[in-house]
Amino acid sequence: MSEVWVVVVLVGAATVALKAVGPVALGGRELPRPLTAILFLLAPALLAALVVTQAVGGDRSLVFDERLVGLGAAAAAIALRAPLLAVVVIAAAVTAAARALG
Amino acid sequence: MTGSPTRTRYQDGARRIAPIGAAAAVFGASFAVLARTADFEAAEAIAMSATTFAGSAQFAAASILGTGGTVAAAVVAASLLNARYAPIGMTVASEFRGSALRRLLEGQLIVDESWAMSRRSDGSYDRRLLIGGGLLLYVCWVGGTALGAAIGDRLGEPERYGLDAAFPALFLALLVPQVRTRQALAAALGGAAIALVLIPFVPAGVPIVAAVAACLVGWTRL
């Protein structure tokens, strides 16, 4: 089995289980409040880390290249409330343009 | 009980979420295209959309593998991104009926959008809206992924189109609506700082998993 298949199967199984916990096992009951607070903070912490690693991450080094130009354009698009797809397309197009010019 | 017929209520959910469904199809297609940067085959991308059915976790797993991260880092980071579905599922749990298998299958249709849309003004949840909306999103998401996988094979080198920069832009766009409280902002800034500091010193993927430590601000009062 390829590495990708292992990831696909394990992430799929984990997600199915996480979504099922409430409806199947714990119908009606609630998690302790501090635990819930932390679980809801996982997404912002992980997404912010993903922004950083995808924008400046290299092979065990920080790499500052055209991706940052594209990310800046994306940030401007988000500030202007552009839809998700437009944000992604703008980032890719600006990065590609910066590479072509650079 | 309101006495309104079952059939219309499921359809209400699908109708209300339709505009998001169109976006989900395009987003699913972009997942298949971007996953190619991590050497996903078409079948692997489609299987992931069909089983995981959660955009941010799928993009996270693909991006970690694509940047040389380990299987373990990809699985842990993606699973933690979906950890929110445990408490989200609990908020709607009392609305689900029937056998355990039926509740398990219907529970898979819980995604951020279908959950948010099914919330009534009194704080309870409408299961039929959730399932009708979730089902439409599921079809759009998996169908879009299949379409993207078919198109993606003809695109060639992803870097030429700046697709590597599409990942951080996407995560930023997903992050912004999550940062609504001071605690969420602190968790985001903490997670970013941890990742930035660790990148030069540890294998790819590990900085993302380590960023989870920033969630501990949930125990403080900000």
Set of chain B residues whose Cβ sits within 8 Å of the Cβ of A33:
none
Any residues with CB less than 8 A from the CB of A90 and at least 6 apart, and which? A70, A73, A74, A77, A82, B169
Q: Shortest CA distance to B116 belongs to which of B18, B4, B25, B17?
A: B17
Set of chain A residues whose Cβ sits within 8 Å of the Cβ of B90:
21-22, 26, 29-31
> What is the predicted pLDDT for the residue at A85?
80
Can you tell me the distance from the alpha carbon of B193 to that of B214, in angstroms, rounded to the nearest whole number? 9
B89-105: average pLDDT: 88
CA distances from B214 to A42, B20, B183, B192, B193 (A): 8, 31, 10, 9, 9
The tens digit of pLDDT for each residue in B24-45 reads 898 899 899 889 888 999 999 9
**Paired strand residues for B119:** B125
Set of chain B residues whose Cβ sits within 8 Å of the Cβ of A43:
56, 81, 84, 178
**Domain residue extents for chain A:** 1-30
The tens digit of pLDDT for each residue in B195-219 reads 999 999 988 888 988 998 998 887 7
- The C-alpha of B69 sits at a distance from chain A's nearest C-alpha, in angstroms, of 10
> What is the predicted pLDDT for the residue at A59?
75
- Which spans in chain B are helix H? 6-35, 42-51, 55-66, 71-81, 85-92, 100-107, 112-117, 127-152, 163-175, 182-198, 206-210
Is the pLDDT higher at B186 or at B159?
B186
Say whether B195 sits in a helix, a strand or coil.
helix
Query: What's the number of CA atoms in the CB half-sphere (13 Å) around residue B115?
Result: 19
Q: Which of A53, A78, A95 sits opposite B207 (nearest CB)?
A: A53
What phi and psi values does residue A62 have, to the nearest 5 degrees?
-90, 130
Q: Which of B93, B106, B196 sits opposite A52 (nearest CB)?
A: B196
A-facing residues of B in 40-79 (CB < 8 A) are 40-41, 44, 47-48, 50-54, 56-58, 60-61, 63, 65, 67-68, 71, 74-75, 77-79
The tens digit of pLDDT for each residue in B128-179 reads 999 999 999 999 999 999 999 998 777 666 667 787 888 899 889 989 988 9
> What is the predicted pLDDT for the residue at B130?
94
Q: Does B65 contact A3 at a Cβ distance shorter than 8 Å? A: yes
Q: Does B108 contact A16 at a Cβ distance shorter than 8 Å? A: yes
Confidence of residue B8 (pLDDT cuts 50, 70, 90): low
Q: Which two tokens stand for residue B100?
A: 């355990």
> What is the predicted pLDDT for the residue at B129?
92
CB of B62 closer than 8 Å to CB of B47: no
* ipTM of the modeled complex: 0.88
Set of chain A residues whose Cβ sits within 8 Å of the Cβ of B83:
18, 39, 42
The tens digit of pLDDT for each residue in A83-101 reads 888 898 899 999 999 999 9
The tens digit of pLDDT for each residue in B52-95 reads 999 889 999 999 999 889 999 999 999 998 988 888 888 788 88
Secondary structure (DSSP) of A17-69: HHHHIIIIISTT----HHHHHHHHHHHHHHHHHHHHHHHHB-SSSB--SHHHH
Is the pLDDT higher at B167 or at B15?
B15
Confidence of residue B222 (pLDDT cuts 50, 70, 90): low
Q: Which two tokens stand for residue B176?
A: 């912004």
Can you tell me the distance from the alpha carbon of B84 to that of B107, in angstroms, rounded to the nearest whole number? 14
**Domain residue extents for chain B:** 8-178, 181-222
CA distances from A72 to A83, B10, B14, B168, B185 (A): 16, 41, 36, 10, 19
DSSP secondary-structure letter at B68? T
Set of chain A residues whose Cβ sits within 8 Å of the Cβ of B174:
47, 84
Can you tell me the distance from the alpha carbon of B68 to that of B87, in angstroms, rounded to the nearest whole number? 32
In a mutational test of the A interface, the residue from B30, B56, B84, B90 whose CB has the highest number of chain A CBs within 10 Å is B90
Burial class (CB in 10 A: 0-12, 13-18, 19+), A27: middle
Can you tell me the distance from the alpha carbon of A22 to that of B147, in angstroms, rounded to the nearest whole number? 32
Hunting for tokens 């699913």 — which residue is that?
A: B28
A-facing residues of B in 149-168 (CB < 8 A) are 159-168
- The C-alpha of B115 sits at a distance from chain A's nearest C-alpha, in angstroms, of 12
Can you tell me the distance from the alpha carbon of A78 to that of B168, in angstroms, rounded to the nearest whole number? 13
